[in-house]
Every structure is written in C-alpha cells, then in structure tokens.
Structure 1
Amino acid sequence: MGRLQKILIPFLGLVLAFWFYSARENFKPEMLKGKRVIVTGASTGIGEQMAYHLARMGSHILITARTEAKLQKVVERCLELGAASARYVSGTMEDMAFAEHVVKEAEASLGGLDMLILNHVGTSYFGYFDGDVGHVRKLLEINFLSYVAMTVSALPMLKESEGSIVVVSSMAGKVGFPFTVPYSATKFALDGFFSSLRQEFSIQSVNVSITLCILGFIDTERAVRAAGALLAAEPAPRAECALEILKGAALRRRELYYRYGSTRLPLLLRDWAAELLDYLVRSRYRLDGAGGGPSPPAPPSLSRN
C-alpha cells in the first residue's frame, strides 16, 4: 500500500495541477495595455524579449541594465513596436542606492507602478565551486538583496495599484544543480523571501500578487555559450519564455514553470525519490566536459547586461 501511495499521490498532483491551470482565466494582451512596468536586466535575453512583448501590448515600460548603448536600442525598438512609452535607466545593481533609484524614476516618469519584473543577475562562473566566499557574498547582493531593495521601494506604489511582483528564478532555486553553487544559493534565497512575503501579504490582506518564475535551460546567447557544452538538453526559446512569464504575471499566478515538462514534473520526485532526482539532474550533464576544477571566472552564462 505504501508503494502504491507513492505512485498515486504524484499522479493525483498532476491531475489537480492540470485541472487548476486549465480552469483559470485565459490571458488576453489587453490585460497589459497601459500598464506601468519596470523590467530589470532588459538589455539582452529574456528581459529584452519581455520588453518587446510589453511594447506590442501597449504598456508603459521602464527598463534597466548596465549597458546604456544596448538599452537605447531596446527602447527604440519598443517605441517602434507600439509601446505607450519607453524609457531606460542604466546602472549596476551592486549599488542598493541604484536599485532604489530605478523605482523612484518610475514614480517620477510613470506616475506609479503596476508591475515590477525582477530579472537581472550578476556575473558568475559555470563550473565546480571554487570556494570563493567573497564571490558568493557579491552575488547575493546583486541577485537577492537588490531584489529585496527594489521590492521594498516599490511596495507603496504596488499596493496603491494592486499590482504585481514578478521574480525570474530558476530550477536551480528549487533543486541543487552542479556547477552553479553561488548562483543556486541566490535563487533559493529568492524562493524563501518571496514565498514568505506572499504569506504575509495574505495575512495582511495586501492585494499585490507575487509570481515566482521557475525556468529551465533557455536559449539566451550567454547561457548557450557557457553551458551548452555541458548540458545534454535543448534550450527553450527565450521569446516564448518571456511571453509565458508575462502571461503568468497578468493572470497573477503563484508560480510559473517553463517549460512545464522539464521543470515542474521533475519536482514531484523531490519528496519521495530525492536520490533518483539527483541522479536525473546529473545525467543531464556531459561530465567529461566539466574538467577537474572551476571554469574561468565570469563566463557569460549567468549574467545579464
């Protein structure tokens, strides 16, 4: 009977999940028309694609990243695609003051905020953990503490608009993955903070949704260049990923898994077959390409400009 329960419970979970998501309201692009949105890490990759989707839907967009020249091009393209307005602020999220400045800029230029999309990440390596505690601390400041700082600054506006917080995370924030130790630590921190904050919002009747986005291997140029040689998996398209994130955010979903089959389903193994899940995770890597030590610091897989 015990073994049967281990099989039936995950299966029942799948059935319930399918019913729950299929029964929910359908996404319509009009849901984001005129919305005031901040997108961080928006000069390349998923953030850039989210900006373009929002532009097509007629949103007011404020984007940020480090590289001003890239941001200028993204803003120009957003305006061509039909954005209600598009602006940028360049700077580094290593500086908590800059994180807060972005939110103040949204208040000044947009008159408020409906959606805060936290998507930026700091530069890290893809390889065996090298023992550098300082690097872990710096990455926590960029990948975690700046998210907290922006959320705190944006909350008064989001409470007023009954808006949304969108946190772009990773399977590496749900399951321990090799070669991403510092990065994974920051993503686990995001899960803990925002899942707990969601609970407090519920208790306090704060009508601000939090959507945690659990992503797999996406075909951003940086990810493919750095991790493609080690991962025995095909990356998912970033434009489609970006659209799914926006759909989940507009529908105020608790969590968004992309792609569902390669992210949500494996997590059903965590509680009843953890060692099997660990084995399946390792089996996705071409370990003969990992070498005997850490990759060179700062390969581009885990950074967004």
Structure 2
Amino acid sequence: MGLLLKIFIPLLGAALAFYFYSAPPSFKEEMLRGKRVIVTGASSGIGEQMAYHLARMETHLLLTARTEAKLQKVVEQCLELGAASARYISGSMEDPSFPEVVVREAENTWGGLDMLILNHIGHSTFNYFDGNVGHIRKLLETNFLSYVAMTTSALPMLKESEGSIVVVSSLAGKVGSPFAASYSATKFALDGFFSSLRHEFIMDKVNVSITLCILGYINTESAVRAISHVIRDKPAPKEECALEIVKAGFLRQRELHYPPWVVGTAVLLRDIAPEFLDSSIRSSYRVENLKRT
C-alpha cells in the first residue's frame, strides 16, 4: 500500500489535474481583443504579468494596486505592448469604499465590463500562528471581503456582457497549510463564497462564469522573499501562471490548478490519503528555519 501511495497516486493526481484543469488548445489571443478587463493587484507579480499578457491581446485595461508609481510603469509597458487602452487607479483594498470606486471608474470609462480578475492580497507573515485575531480580521477585509464587494458592484455590468469573474486563490485555500493559518482562512473563504455563488448563477440562469484559480508556489518576488528559506520545492514561473489564468478565465473554466501536477495531486490526496498528504507536507518544509512566537 505504501508503494502504491508513493508512486501511483501522485501520477494519477497529475494526470487528472492535467485533464480537467488545463486550458483547451482552442484558445487564441485574438479572442480577447477589445475586451474590457479589471485586474487587481497589478503592480507586481502575477497581476503584473497578467496585465502584460492582456495588453498583447489588445484588451482595454484598468489596473489597481496600492503603489501608484509601480502602476504607472506597468500601464506604460501595457501601452507599448499593444493594449487597446490602459489606465490605473491606486488605493488600498483595506478601505471598504475602494472596490466600488474601481468599478465605478470602469463603468464611467467603458460603460461596461467583460472580465473581473481579483488577484490582490494583504500582507501576511509565514510562521506559527501567534494568536493575533486582529490580523485575521484585517486580512479578511483585504483577501476576502473586498473580493465580495468588487463582485457585487461589478455584477450588473458582468450580467449585461455575460462576462467572467476570475478569483486568484491558493492551494492553501484547498488544503490546510502550516505556518499560514490566517492566509489560509481567507482563501478557504473565497472557495466557499464563490463556489456557492456559481451554483446560484447556474440555478438562476445567470450567464456569468466564475473561475477559481488554485495556485501553488509561484516565483513572485513576495512569495520567494517570504517562504524560500522554508519551502524545499522549486517555484513555478509567474509568466506562465499568469497566462494560464487569463486562458482559464476567458474559456470559463470552473477551476484552474497550477502547477497542475502539484496542486492536483495535493487535492486528490486530501480526499483519499490524508495521512500521506500530511507526511508529504511535513517533508516539504525546513521547520528549523522558523521560530515559535
């Protein structure tokens, strides 16, 4: 049984993940030409790379993040890459009014919206849970409640265009991960809310797709800085990850798992071999590099 778990189950997980969650080859970049897209958390990392891919596809872009100077540079690059238009609005998702401000800007500028990509996250430490409930409340505002608020504000336009909502989440929102209790809680909340909302859309015949993106360890600057000293695994490329997210959203996939062989195997093991998954998780960390608080 041990040999079966170690060899066949990971292979099966990888095969299933590739089959169910990889974007079909029918995607063509020109399909997105002229589409109106909001990308949050677009000043760096995966959000920045998504903006560049969408710019090459000649979309209209509205980008958001906290840092105005970084957003300016991303917008300039997007215009050079061929975006039909590109603009930004800076602000913090910790401000409950900011999501509505962003959506109103899109409505005033374009009169509609085709795709809402929710990608921003709040700052979170990677260590043993220290009992800081206030931090969890703050993180929920940014990582979860602002996603709900933006979706609520954008939904009338998305219903009219029969558009798409793309929610960038994490493997930590499918499988409990050590040293990320606060972060993991917010990502599980995203799965619960948007998976439920998808069912309601289906029942009410609302033709707005919801794509939940379950990401593993990606080589963004913030992720590498936060966890590279603890995680043994090699991170996946952010450029490819960003492109897969854009494809999955446009093709209206229910879920994207990236990297598929890593995420798909973990989700499968969670359901059929949790003890083996627990052992695998423990072996993936250099716990000696963390300090208890």
2:47 maps to amino acid: G
Residue 285 (structure 2) aligns with: 285
Q: Could you tell me how far 1:251 is from its partner in structure 2?
A: 0.8
Amino acid at match of 2:50: M
Deviation at 1:19, TM superposition (A): 5.1
Which sits farther off after the overlay, 257-266 or 166-175?
257-266
Query: In the aligned structure 2, how far is the partner of 1:23 from the partner of 1:147?
Result: 24
1:167 alignment counterpart: 167
Deviations 1:83-110 (A, max 9, x none): 0000000000011211111001001112
Letter of the structure 2 residue corresponding to residue 153 of structure 1 = S
Residue 275 of structure 1 deviates from its aligned partner by: 1.8
Cα displacement string for residues 10-46 of structure 1 (whole angstroms, at most 9, x for unaligned residues): 9888766655567956211012111100000000000
Q: How many residues align?
A: 288
Question: What are the residue-to-residue correspondences of 1:16-55 with 2, within 5 Å?
Answer: 24=24, 26-55=26-55
Residue 74 (structure 2) pairs with residue 74 (structure 1): yes
Confirm or deny: 8 A CA contact 1:25 1:251 kept in the other structure. Answer: no
Contact 2:14 2:264 survives alignment (8 Å): no
Report the aligned-residue RMSD.
Answer: 2.0
Alpha carbons of 1:121 and 1:15: their partners in 2 closer, same or farther (altered >3 Å)? closer
Distance 1:263 1:87, change over 3 A: same
Offset at residue 77 of structure 1 (A): 0.4
Find the aligned partners of 1:223 and 1:12 in 2 and give their Cα distance.
28
Aligned partner of residue 96 in structure 1, secondary structure? coil
Q: Distance in 2 between matches of 1:76 and 1:23?
A: 29
* Inter-partner Cα distance in structure 1 for 2:23 and 2:285: 36
Q: TM-score, with normalisation over the residues of structure 1?
A: 0.90
Show the counterpart of 1:258.
258
Whole-Å Cα distance in 2 between the matches of residues 283 and 10 of structure 1? Answer: 15
Partner of 2:141: 141
Secondary structure of the 1:88 match is: strand
Q: Distance in 2 between matches of 1:259 and 1:15?
A: 12
CA-to-aligned-CA distance 1:46-101 (integer Å, 9 cap, x gap): 00000000000000000000100100000000000000000000000011211111
- Asked if 1 retains the 8 angstrom alpha-carbon contact of 2:113 and 2:157, the reply is yes
Residue aligned with 1:271, SS: helix
1:222 aligns with 2:225: no
Shift in alpha-carbon separation, 1:10–1:201, aligned structure 2, 3 A: farther
Q: Answer yes or no: is the 8 Å Cα contact 1:72–1:88 preserved in 2.
A: yes
Indicate if the aligned counterparts of 2:21 and 2:256 stay in contact, CA closer than 8 A.
no
Q: For residues 141-168 of structure 1, what are the alpha-carbon distances to aligned partners after superposition, in whole Å with 9 as ceiling and x for unaligned?
A: 1000000000000000000000000000
The letter for the 2-side match of 1:177 is: S
Change (3 A) 1:150 1:22: closer
Q: Distance in 2 between matches of 1:86 and 1:92?
A: 20
- Distance in 2 (alpha carbons) for counterparts of 1:227 and 1:96: 29
TM-score (norm 2): 0.93
Q: Is the 8 A contact 2:23 2:244 kept in 1?
A: no
- The 1-side partners of 2:53 and 2:66 are apart by 21
CA distance in 1, matches of 2:120, 2:39: 9
The structure-2 alpha-carbon separation of the partners of 1:263 and 1:10, relative to structure 1 and needing over 3 Å to count, comes to: closer
2:155 is matched with which residue? 155
Q: Structure 2 regions of 5+ residues with no counterpart?
A: none
Q: C-alpha distance in 1, partners of 2:171/2:18?
A: 20
Aligned CA distance change for structure 1 residues 280 and 22 (closer, same or farther; 3 Å): closer
Measured against aligned partners, the alpha-carbon deviations of 1:165-220 in whole angstroms (never above 9, x if no partner) come to 00000000000101111000000000000000000000000000000000000111
**Distance in 1 separating the partners of 2:163 and 2:145:** 21
